Amino acid sequence: MPDSDKRGHDQTSAREEILSGTYVSDLTHFLDSSGKISGRAPMEVREMAGFLVLILDKVTIHFPDTVSGMGTGVRCRSVNCNGEIMGALEGMDSPVMWSCPVCGHNGTISNWRDSQWDNTGIGGNP
Ligand SMILES: [Zn+2]
C-alpha cells in the first residue's frame, strides 16, 4: 500500500487518536502547564483545541441537563458541513461526547474536569 497520502500527522504534539471515525481527545494534551491552550502547538492543533473548549464550555454549563444531548451552537469543522455540533455529558466522570448530526463527525473529550472551561460548578450545581 502506498502511503503518499499520509502527511503531517506525526507532527502534531497533541496525541489525538482517530478510531473508526471518532476523535478521542484528551484535553490535557492541548494545554500548557498553566492550563491554557498551548501557544506553541501547530495551528491545526490549536484550532482543534479551540473547537473542543467551545463545546466543553457549552455542555458543562448546562450539566446535568446534558445526558440526552443538546445543541451547542458550535459549527461543525468538516469541510462543506454547516451542521451544529450536539454535545452530551452523562456524569462528572464521563468524557464529553460530541457529534455532528449532518455528517457524522464525532468524538469524545476526556480530562476536562477542573479545566478553565469546566462550568459544572456554576449555575447551582454542587
Ligand atoms: Zn458535520
Q: Quote the ligand 1 centre to 106 CA distance (angstroms).
A: 8
**Residue-level pLDDT at 101:** 95
Q: Quote the ligand 1 centre to 125 CA distance (angstroms).
A: 31
24-78 confidence digits (pLDDT tens) = 999 999 999 999 999 989 999 999 999 999 999 999 999 999 999 999 999 999 9
80-116 confidence digits (pLDDT tens) = 999 999 999 999 999 999 999 999 999 999 999 999 9
Which of 113 and 14 is assigned the larger pLDDT?
113
CA distances from 119 to 9, 67, 70 (A): 32, 16, 16
Q: Quote the ligand 1 centre to 37 CA distance (angstroms).
A: 24
Q: Quote the ligand 1 centre to 123 CA distance (angstroms).
A: 30
Cα–Cα dist 96/42, whole Å? 24
Q: Quote the ligand 1 centre to 34 CA distance (angstroms).
A: 32
Q: Quote the ligand 1 centre to 81 CA distance (angstroms).
A: 5
Given a cut of 70, is residue 4 above it in pLDDT?
no
For cell 479551540, the residue is: 50
**Residue-level pLDDT at 20:** 56
pTM above 0.75, yes or no: yes
**Residue-level pLDDT at 17:** 56
**Residue-level pLDDT at 56:** 98
Q: Quote the ligand 1 centre to 17 CA distance (angstroms).
A: 19
Question: Residue 122's pLDDT band (boundaries 50, 70, 90)?
Answer: confident
**Residue-level pLDDT at 47:** 94
Which of 83 and 16 is assigned the larger pLDDT?
83
